[in-house]
A and B are shown apart, each in its own frame.
Chain A
Amino acid sequence: MGRPVAAIVELSYPDNVTLLQGAMQNWRDLPAKGPAGSAAVERLLDGLEVSGHVLVVGPHPASMIMGLAQRAERLSVVTRAIPDAAEIGTAVPSATVWCGSLTAAAERLEPADVVVALADAALLLSTEEPVADWSSFPQLLHRLAAPGARVLMAIENERGMHRQNVGADLFVRDTDADWTPFATWDQTRPRRTEALPGLDGWPGVQFSAVLPTWETPAVLLDGAATVEDRALAMAYAAGDRRASALTVRSVGLADLALEQAAGWIVRVGVPSPGAVVTPVGPVEGQAPTTGPVQTHFLQAAADHDMPAMRALLRFWWEWLQEKAVDGVVPTGYADARLSNLVAEGGTLRPLRPGDTDLPVDRAAWLALADVMGVITSQGLTHPWPTAMNPQTRFAALLAMAEIPVPDDLGPYAEPQEPTDLSRDALLAVIRRQQNELRIVWSRFHWDEKQYAAYRASKFSRRVVRYAQRNGKQLPAKAKRLPQTLPATAKKLPAKAKKRLGG
């Protein structure tokens, strides 16, 4: 059963929150996942002209809303979960927070000069209302946007690279959020970029593609990007540990970054933040002619091509040592992960700098722990024996490039791995499976007691004593059990009927 009462929340919210139809008492969407909670997507807001009435639709981080509130004349927020509304209302006292469905809010709100809807429509639908088609949401947003308004609207892509090669189809996970898993995933939801501009009455619609995952976007790619920009964006996307490395490789090779993006953010009247944008801002540079070094390494590992693995690692180790000064790798090269490096002109180039200077050995250990983590967490094929201890395996990896082995292999060989499920979601899966086991055992015990009671009602005292010893909680009315059988008893097999005295 889990936690039946603790999950029910006491109703409490500040005065700047108004409850509407669709308000959900026992649900939280925050902390926001997806574009609404992403640092990369916040770069879109840097170029957003904020003035007049700003409307934020869906669960967004309070910090983001606070930033908008400081620039807006008036700020309204619509969110479905009461605890989230309370959090936002408390953090941003100047905001007017409407808690309920967007349909209900649209009856009360005045048109806005800026509409920020970076949460997918699936996060706007309430348990309290019937399922609505996806198309109803852009229609509602259009109604809420004043003429000439600036609009940002996020749309998750069902065909996105983040939904390929996942452990379990996202429609069958059955997490607490999946009360109607196909809601808004109907025919009207765009699944191709050519379907995006079909938002009636909105001129000059442009978009940014979200890569590589929806829950933790790392890169924004402009819809009008060149082939070189798309390759550059996919090189950055490959560095996201939450993305499937092989899927990202495949999408990059096929040049399908826009069509198989995790989703899109439609921009109306909002300038593009750049062709390729990461959390720190727009990036430029030559597009890699090949994918990140990691891609080549993973391919060689899957192919059991250990000579190729050794050659690549030795080349990389020599490069890293050249960059080190007095045994320390400067910040600009300290993120030496294979996923962060591309081959260029006979050498290697990092896509992003590191956070701090690092001793060269430690930079190497961290980098190779990362690639080993990708292999093990994503279940990729590798040439080492299954029974090989993870620490020994890591040492063998280091030995391929004759890299010194750390005194303590533990932190490098068995680090925490990100998954596509949050910690709470994983715990929910465990609880559900424990419940399923309890259910099965309970059903077994129930049936055993029923059978024991049935036998007790038909047979000798000796059997009754046996049943009482072994089925301790026999129903008190065991002897009357046959009389409570339904009329369908007449349909029982002859043998059973005879046993029941029929």
Chain B
Amino acid sequence: MDHTNLWYGHAHAFAEYCGLDSAAPPPIRGVIQHGWTFVHGLGYGHYNDPSFTKLVWSEISRRRGQVIGWRDFVVTGAPFAYLDRVRPREDVERTGTIWYPFHGTKDYETVSGAHDELVREIQRTEDGPVTVCLYYVEYDDPTIRQYYRDAGFRVICHGRRGAQWKGADRYFLARQLAELRRHRRVCSNRLTTAVMYGAAIGCEPGIYGDPMQFVGGKAGFVGDGLLEALYPQFFTPHVEDVAEVREIARAEIGMDRVMGPDELRYLLGWDDPWLPSSN
């Protein structure tokens, strides 16, 4: 199946929800939106077999895809929303802030900026314990990691994304869910998937600090200036109306689009009841 379906444990989360073996999710006849974006959710230059359904998180992603000529979308909601349903919640009091510095990738774009200045900004703004979650690209850089450790922050990484069907950490999303559930705030220097996830499940979001340079971003996928216009409520260290941004985040993640296990299985191509050789 499309290798991006394995990123962050998305296919695995769907398999768990459907009662299948999450260690070996069956091939999906489609491509899952792998992150929250302001474009269509499927990344630059993403080309799939024409028979693959585009499994997007939100109605907004579907609409944005339609205007550029794409069809065959199904709004499933994010795999994160499904994992949130199946994983039991622990009764813990939310404390502190989990901070996600904007990240690059090893194979596409990179992020360049002053992490030490960002650390100082975080220290000025946050008044409780801070967990900094670095993407594996930044986490693997000891210099970057040390900036945050030296500041006394708890520094973690949710796991590796993987590439070309290898190295994907299927527990990534589960770790992220667990961390977001136990923190009171979720912050970043850009509006990102993690902020949307956290806001959707009860974190107070905040966007502040140097957004840094997004090096190698493709035309139309950078969004500087546009995100501040589209989602002004998020771009502040402390949002005024937490309930409002929570509703926005829930719509962006598709929390209200979660399907039942049977319906999801049929849509993903995991069950064609009329075929004897159904996968």
Chain A residues near B (Cβ < 8 Å): 1-5, 7-11, 18-27, 82, 100, 127-128, 174, 176-180, 428, 431-432, 435, 438-440, 442-443, 446, 450-451, 454, 481, 483-489, 491-493, 495-496, 499
- Please name the residue on chain A nearest to B19 by beta carbon: A487
- Please name the residue on chain A nearest to B39 by beta carbon: A8
Q: How far, in angstroms, from A499 to B223 measured CA to CA in the complex?
A: 54
Residue pair A1, B48 in contact (C-beta under 8 Å)? yes
Q: Closest Cβ of chain A: how far from B199's Cβ, in Å? A: 17
Q: Which residues of B contact A19 (CB under 8 A)?
A: 225-226, 228-230
Residue pair A484, B24 in contact (C-beta under 8 Å)? yes
Residue pair A179, B226 in contact (C-beta under 8 Å)? no
Residue in A2, A3, A9, A486 whose CB lies within 8 Å of B26: A486
Q: How far, in angstroms, from A7 to B224 measured CA to CA in the complex?
A: 19
19 inter-chain pairs at a CB distance below 8 angstroms, sorted by A residue, are A5-B45, A7-B69, A8-B221, A9-B220, A11-B224, A18-B229, A20-B229, A25-B226, A127-B64, A176-B69, A178-B66, A179-B62, A179-B63, A438-B50, A439-B51, A442-B50, A492-B278, A493-B276, A496-B277
Residue pair A127, B67 in contact (C-beta under 8 Å)? yes
Residue pair A23, B226 in contact (C-beta under 8 Å)? yes
Is B222 part of the contact surface with A, judged by Cβ < 8 Å?
yes
Q: Which residues of B contact A23 (CB under 8 A)?
A: 226, 229-230
Q: How far, in angstroms, from A100 to B229 measured CA to CA in the complex?
A: 9
Residue in A5, A9, A435, A485 whose CB lies within 8 Å of B279: A485
Q: Closest Cβ of chain B: how far from A187's Cβ, in Å? A: 22
B242-273 to A contact mask, C-beta < 8 Å, 1/0: 00000000000000000000000100001101
Residue pair B221, A442 in contact (C-beta under 8 Å)? no
Q: How far, in angstroms, from A473 to B103 measured CA to CA in the complex?
A: 36
Q: How far, in angstroms, from A481 to B220 measured CA to CA in the complex?
A: 41
Sorted from nearest, which 5 A-B pairs have the closest CB atoms? A19-B229, A496-B276, A8-B220, A7-B68, A10-B219
B31-51 to A contact mask, C-beta < 8 Å, 1/0: 000000011000011111111
Q: Closest Cβ of chain A: how far from B274's Cβ, in Å? A: 10
Is B18 part of the contact surface with A, judged by Cβ < 8 Å?
yes
Q: Which residues of A contact B24 (CB under 8 A)?
A: 483-484
Residue in A7, A18, A20, A432 whose CB lies within 8 Å of B71: A432
Residue pair B18, A486 in contact (C-beta under 8 Å)? yes
Is B60 part of the contact surface with A, judged by Cβ < 8 Å?
yes
Q: How far, in angstroms, from A435 to B225 measured CA to CA in the complex?
A: 35
- Please name the residue on chain A nearest to B44 by beta carbon: A5
Q: Which residues of A contact B231 (CB under 8 A)?
A: 21
Q: Which chain B residues (1-42) contact chain A, with CB distance < 8 Å?
A: 18-21, 24, 26, 29, 38-39
Q: Which residues of B contact A443 (CB under 8 A)?
A: 51
**B45, B223, B277, B278: residue with the most chain A Cβ atoms closer than 10 Å:** B277
Q: How far, in angstroms, from A25 to B64 measured CA to CA in the complex?
A: 9
Q: Closest Cβ of chain A: how far from B71's Cβ, in Å? A: 7
Q: Which residues of A contact B129 (CB under 8 A)?
A: none
Q: How far, in angstroms, from A428 to B71 measured CA to CA in the complex?
A: 11
Q: Closest Cβ of chain B: how far from A89's Cβ, in Å? A: 14
Q: Which residues of A contact B225 (CB under 8 A)?
A: 11, 19
Is B152 part of the contact surface with A, judged by Cβ < 8 Å?
no
Residue pair B70, A27 in contact (C-beta under 8 Å)? no
Residue pair A4, B219 in contact (C-beta under 8 Å)? no
Is B72 part of the contact surface with A, judged by Cβ < 8 Å?
yes
Residue in A21, A179, A442, A487 whose CB lies within 8 Å of B20: A487
Q: Which residues of A contact B45 (CB under 8 A)?
A: 4-5
A1-B50, A19-B229, A486-B18 are contacts. A26–B60 as well, Cβ < 8 Å?
no
A21-B232, A179-B62, A179-B63 are contacts. A486–B220 as well, Cβ < 8 Å?
no
Residue in B19, B47, B271, B277 whose CB lies within 8 Å of A451: B277
Q: What would 15 more interface pairs be, CB under 8 Å, given A4-B69, A7-B68, A485-B26? A: A2-B70, A10-B219, A11-B222, A11-B226, A19-B229, A21-B229, A25-B223, A25-B226, A127-B64, A451-B277, A454-B277, A486-B270, A488-B278, A491-B273, A496-B277
Q: Which residues of B contact A489 (CB under 8 A)?
A: 278
Residue pair A26, B20 in contact (C-beta under 8 Å)? no
Residue pair A127, B220 in contact (C-beta under 8 Å)? no
Q: How far, in angstroms, from A491 to B222 measured CA to CA in the complex?
A: 48
Residue in B47, B50, B67 whose CB lies within 8 Å of A24: B67
Residue in A8, A82, A450, A483 whose CB lies within 8 Å of B219: A8
A24-B67, A442-B51 are contacts. A450–B220 as well, Cβ < 8 Å?
no
Q: How far, in angstroms, from A10 to B218 measured CA to CA in the complex?
A: 9
Residue pair A442, B276 in contact (C-beta under 8 Å)? no
Residue pair A488, B271 in contact (C-beta under 8 Å)? yes
A26-B39, A435-B50, A486-B270 are contacts. A450–B277 as well, Cβ < 8 Å?
yes
Q: Which residues of B contact A8 (CB under 8 A)?
A: 39, 68, 219-221
Q: Which residues of B contact A24 (CB under 8 A)?
A: 67
Q: Closest Cβ of chain B: how far from A3's Cβ, in Å? A: 6
Q: How far, in angstroms, from A494 to B229 measured CA to CA in the complex?
A: 59
Q: Closest Cβ of chain A: how far from B260's Cβ, in Å? A: 14
Q: How far, in angstroms, from A10 to B222 measured CA to CA in the complex?
A: 9
Q: Which residues of B contact A499 (CB under 8 A)?
A: 276
**B21, B62, B69, B273: residue with the most chain A Cβ atoms closer than 10 Å:** B69
